[in-house]
Chains A and B, each alone.
With several copies, the nearest count.
Chain A
Amino acid sequence: MQTNIIYHLKNIRHYYEKTAVLDIDELDITKGSITGLIGSNGSGKTTLLKLLAFALRPTHGDIFYKGKKEVCFSPSVRSKVTLLTQTPYLLKRTVFENIVYGLNIRKDKTNIEERVKTALLNVGLDYQRFALRKWHQLSGGEAQRVAMAARLILKPEVLLLDEPVANVDSQSAKLIRKATLNARDQWGATLVVASHDLQWLYSISDRQLSVSNGNIFATGFENIIQGPFEKTDKSIVIKKLKDGQVITLKKPKKVSNTAIIKKNHLFFNLEEPINKSLDNQLSGQVVSMLLGEKSGHVLININIQDLPFTIRLVPDQVSRLELYPGKKVILKFSSADVEWT
Chain B
Amino acid sequence: MDYLVEGFTKAIDLLINGDASTWTAIWATLKVSTCSMALSLGAGLPCGFLIGYFDFKGKRHLRTLVDTLLSLPTVFIGLIVYAFITHRGPLGEFEFLFTLTGIAIGQTILAFPIITALTATTVESIDKELKLTLVSLGAGKRNILITCLWEVRYGILAAAVTAYGRVMTEVGISMMVGGNIKYHTRTITTAIALETNKGQFADGIALGLVLILIAFIVNLSLSFLRKQ
- Chains A and B touch each other in the complex, with CB atoms below 8 Å apart: yes
Q: Does A101 contact B (CB under 8 A)?
A: yes
Q: Does A204 contact B (CB under 8 A)?
A: no
Most interface-central of B141, B147, B150 (chain A CB within 10 A): B147
- Are B137 and A89 in contact (CB-based, < 8 A)? no
Cα distance, A106 to B139, chains bound together (Å) = 9
Q: Does A91 contact B (CB under 8 A)?
A: yes
- Are B143 and A83 in contact (CB-based, < 8 A)? no
Q: Which of A52-104 contact B (CB under 8 A)?
A: 53-55, 72-73, 78-85, 87-89, 91-92, 101-102
Q: Which residues of chain B have C-beta atoms less than 8 A from A83's C-beta?
A: 132, 136
Q: A50-B132, A89-B127 are in contact. Are A82 and B138 (CB under 8 A)?
A: yes
Size category, B interface: 10 to 19
Q: Does B133 contact A (CB under 8 A)?
A: yes
Most interface-central of A80, A87, A102 (chain B CB within 10 A): A102
- Are A55 and B136 in contact (CB-based, < 8 A)? yes
Most interface-central of B133, B139, B140, B147 (chain A CB within 10 A): B133
Size category, A interface: 20 to 34
Q: Which of A116-171 contact B (CB under 8 A)?
A: 136, 150-151, 154, 160
Q: Which residues of chain A have C-beta atoms less than 8 A from B143's C-beta?
A: 105
- Are B151 and A91 in contact (CB-based, < 8 A)? yes
Q: Which of B89-147 contact A (CB under 8 A)?
A: 127-130, 132-133, 135-141, 143, 147
Q: A89-B129, A89-B130 are in contact. Are A105 and B151 (CB under 8 A)?
A: no
Cα distance, A54 to B133, chains bound together (Å) = 12
- Are A53 and B136 in contact (CB-based, < 8 A)? yes
Q: Which residues of chain A have C-beta atoms less than 8 A from B136's C-beta?
A: 53, 55, 81-85, 160
CB-based nearest A residue for B137? A102
Chain A contact residues, majority secondary structure: loop
Q: Which residues of chain B have C-beta atoms less than 8 A from A105's C-beta?
A: 137-140, 143
- Are B129 and A106 in contact (CB-based, < 8 A)? no
CB-based nearest A residue for B127? A89
Q: A87-B129, A89-B129 are in contact. Are A78 and B147 (CB under 8 A)?
A: no
CB-based nearest A residue for B151? A92
Q: Which residues of chain A have C-beta atoms less than 8 A from B150's C-beta?
A: 92
CB-based nearest A residue for B152? A92
Q: What is the minimal beta-carbon distance from A131 to any residue of chain B, in angstroms?
A: 19
Binding site for A on B (CB under 8 A): 127-130, 132-133, 135-141, 143, 147, 150-151
30 A-B residue contacts at CB 8 Å? A50-B132, A53-B136, A55-B136, A72-B135, A80-B138, A82-B137, A83-B132, A83-B136, A84-B136, A85-B129, A85-B132, A85-B133, A88-B129, A89-B129, A89-B130, A91-B133, A91-B147, A92-B150, A101-B137, A102-B137, A102-B138, A105-B137, A105-B138, A105-B139, A105-B143, A106-B138, A136-B128, A150-B137, A151-B137, A154-B138
For the complex of A and B, the 10 pairs showing the least CB-CB separation, nearest first, are A83-B136, A79-B138, A89-B129, A102-B137, A89-B133, A55-B135, A78-B138, A53-B136, A89-B130, A82-B136
